[in-house]
Structure 1
Amino acid sequence: MSYTFGQPVKGNLSITIDNTKSRKCQTRITRNITISGCTDVEETAAKLQIVDCNVYSLKVNAVVTEEGTGVEAMASTTTSIQRRLITFKTLYKDQYMKPNLPFTLKMKALNSRVNMHSSEYYQTLSHYFSPSNSSLLIYAPEETLKCAEAGQSTSQHILPVLFSARDQPTAAITVQVVSRGSIQYTNTQDYQLPSGPLPISTEHLVEPLPPPLPGTVRGVINLTISLPNNASPIVKVSQFHPTAVSSGAR
């Protein structure tokens, strides 16, 4: 059989991957693959017990048998396992999953040098019930409020409120600010409830929001609230309207 240097080799590849462990953790996987030139071989960490048995290196043996001649070429190598453990810390999450509105969860990944384990995150959602299938939700995932427009008092802030309303074009919404154990600010005002896009990034959604039910509108209104000078840096803001039996708090 003639061979030109640089020509892809056709034949059989027998590759063995050993996790270098012993007893119940020992895993040795052999695969036979028909090849034609360079070939990538993949194996899962689960089959090699890399996580469960704290595997830090793999030994790989490869034997290539050329088609037609039976000529064999062998090679061995040992590679180290680079591991990075990631744990998750919750930075913010909504108190309830409300009708027709998104549930906001913000978290960050932390590195750790403790024993390796799977990086997973679980969250139980508490659903909010509304007889009218309406809801209000203060949208402040950063847990801070933007200041009002330039020229206004520095004590005024913008309060974004997501809403879902059924057969209700307007609502009388009451806003209360609680600080230092007492109500520092209360205001009730009528607001239009127009349908519109929510101030969220669709790429951050785990799954698309379902369309509102017939007769239901979904949108956002921006309320201006005033914080008195005697309010502490951390306040609790509540908003509600009586007809939809729904509220939100921060």
Structure 2
Amino acid sequence: MEAIVLDPGGSLRRAFGLLRLLGEGGAAGLRLTELAQAAALPPATVHRLMRLMMTERLVTFDPASKHYRLGLELFLLAAQASNPLGLRDLARPGLLRLTAELNETLFLLVHNGYDAVCIDRSSGPWPIRSFTGDIGGRVPLGMGQGSVAILAFLPDAEQDEIIRHNTPRLRQLAPFSEGWLRRELLRVRSEQVSGGLYPVNPGMAGLAVPIRDGTGRAVAALSIGTTAERLDAERRAGAREALMREAALVEAGLNPFDPSLHRAAAAMEPVSR
């Protein structure tokens, strides 16, 4: 097998950029010329990197259509990496119970640096629009009920840093007020639940509760996505109770000595966006 020799500041970054472009291209994949144009790289460079990634089964090539696609090996690696803290294993039965009990779509989001990432989903019968979309989707902390539930239960200094960093990002995505977000975080801390109507997603609504470690710090959130007409006061109270019950079961199963509990904060590095 040909060894992949990548310099830290060049080829590695380009290779990851090409993988992201293939992911955005969907199941159909992309041609070499399309990849080169989107990446602003010479076709010869793209061809070399794709050939190297094909040897590692990270990328596949269809000779008939001339399209490159993400390889199965990449998905196998992602499946191993997307289970921090064993949360998917711990939370999966609860997601299924909640979907059956509430007849709604459930999401499991984890804290990752300045973002919340969806690592599992259990779909209900109603079509919904969500901020994270499917498994693997991410949003800045502060956007959507799941990420707000996480942000509300982080230490004050970390919360301040995240708000400072994410404010420009949030303003690009939706009408945003830092004052509103800080008031909402205080409310969530008091009521132990985040959510309501989506001002930037008309007709949608949701609820979320944090999943916390032994220190009270949020590491994840359980979130419901539904329609506004289905989330009346009575259903909201019942959903809140059910979410908190399942979150408590997950929290009881967390390993307090797992070093990955501390990786989310470690992933926060000042980055200008």
More strand by share: 1
TM-score (norm 2): 0.21
TM-score (norm 1): 0.22
More helix by share: 2
